[in-house]
């Protein structure tokens, strides 16, 4: 039986999309190219950049009012991914087990502070 999902991304400011190091594979880059109708090479240059490890490619970011920077594919007004069908594997798999630590923390603080819009801009979940 599938695990119950214990988080709601529609109520979250998108903290996981602010991770600086969202690693993409060659397959992910190919999928991005297909999604945008451009070549794999163009997708690699336009949407990814070199990561810390040799050969590593990570998604590019743009500025964000809450987290400093966030994935370039994140809509900063609607607070959601704009390339859902074309997103990399790591984004499809996160957070993995039906549970999101950031969402737990957010829910706890919003309840205890009686502020449904409260946002934590820090933390590594």
Judged by CB under 6 A, which of 43, 57, 74, 107 binds ligand SF4?
Answer: 74
**What is the C-alpha separation between 33 and 37, in angstroms, rounded?**
6
Does 81 bind ligand SF4 (CB under 6 A)? Our answer is yes
Residue placing its CB nearer to ligand SF4 in the complex, 12 or 43: 12
In sign, the C-alpha dihedral spanning 21, 22, 25, 31 is negative
Distance CA 67, CA 96 (A): 22
Interface size with ligand SF4, residues (CB under 6 A) = 22
Tell me how far CA of residue 99 lies from CA of 40, 41, 96, 103, in angstroms: 33, 36, 7, 8
Find the binder of ligand SF4 among 28, 59, 64, 67 (CB under 6 A). Answer: 59
67 binds ligand SF4 (CB under 6 A): no
Contact residues toward ligand SF4 (CB under 6 A) are 7, 9, 12, 14-17, 22, 59, 71, 73-74, 81, 83, 87-88, 91, 94-95, 100, 102-103
């Amino acid at each position: 039986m599938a695990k119950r999902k214990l988080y709601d991304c529609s109520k979250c400011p998108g903290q996981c999309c602010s991770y600086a190091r969202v690693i993409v594979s060659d397959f992910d880059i190919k999928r991005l190219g297909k999604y945008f109708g451009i070549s794999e090479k163009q997708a690699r240059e336009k949407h990814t950049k070199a990561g810390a490890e040799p050969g590593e490619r990570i998604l590019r970011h743009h500025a964000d009012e809450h987290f400093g920077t966030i994935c370039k594919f994140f809509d900063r007004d609607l607070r959601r991914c704009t390339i859902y069908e074309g997103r990399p594997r790591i984004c499809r798999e996160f957070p993995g087990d039906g549970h999101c630590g950031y969402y737990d923390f957010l829910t706890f603080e919003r309840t205890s502070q009686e502020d449904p819009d409260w946002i934590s801009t820090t933390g590594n979940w």
